[in-house]
Amino acid sequence: MMPETLTPPSPGSPLAVLFDIVAASARLTLEEERDGAETAAADHVYAAYPDTLGRVVDHDAWTGYPALRDNSVQPSAVAHLGDGLWLHHTITADADYHDALTLLVPCTCRCGYVPSLLEDENDLQELLRELRPTGGRAVHRGDTGGPYCASIPPA
């Protein structure tokens, strides 16, 4: 028995239009990915951190980056908070596609950064209370700093 020859949907049909929409959305330009990442970051900060980050990080503070296809890394955006602190935002690629906001804090030893995934505004406020005595630097716990620093080195 020979397989049946499949014919494409007729032009202008609802199925053909849906196929065209999906094909177009799959081909976002790098600039569209960057813009989308910046918008997603700004929207998340305004909605989830209205009393803290939403008051000090505006939409223009974000710099978007496209997805890395080879490593399955989603588009992301970063915002500099000053004094070496950065925010990193992305949408996770797991089943529920949730916002992931990370505060990158420089170490007291100046050899790297310590990332802290922020769950909500209370989590951020607790972390900021810990960082205030050190001027926004992460204090090492369990290591001696220097070449033994367990943080992530700067790029």
Q: How far apart are CA 89 and CA 43, in angstroms?
A: 11
CA–centroid distance for 114 within its chain? 16
Q: How far apart are CA 101 and CA 44, in angstroms?
A: 9
What is the reported pTM?
A: 0.75
Q: What is the pLDDT of residue 80?
A: 96
CB 104 within 8 A of CB 87: yes
DSSP string, 122-133: HHHHHHHHHHGG
pLDDT digits (tens, 9 = 90+) for 14-43: 888 888 777 776 666 888 889 999 999 999
Task: Say if residue 53's pLDDT is above 90.
Answer: yes
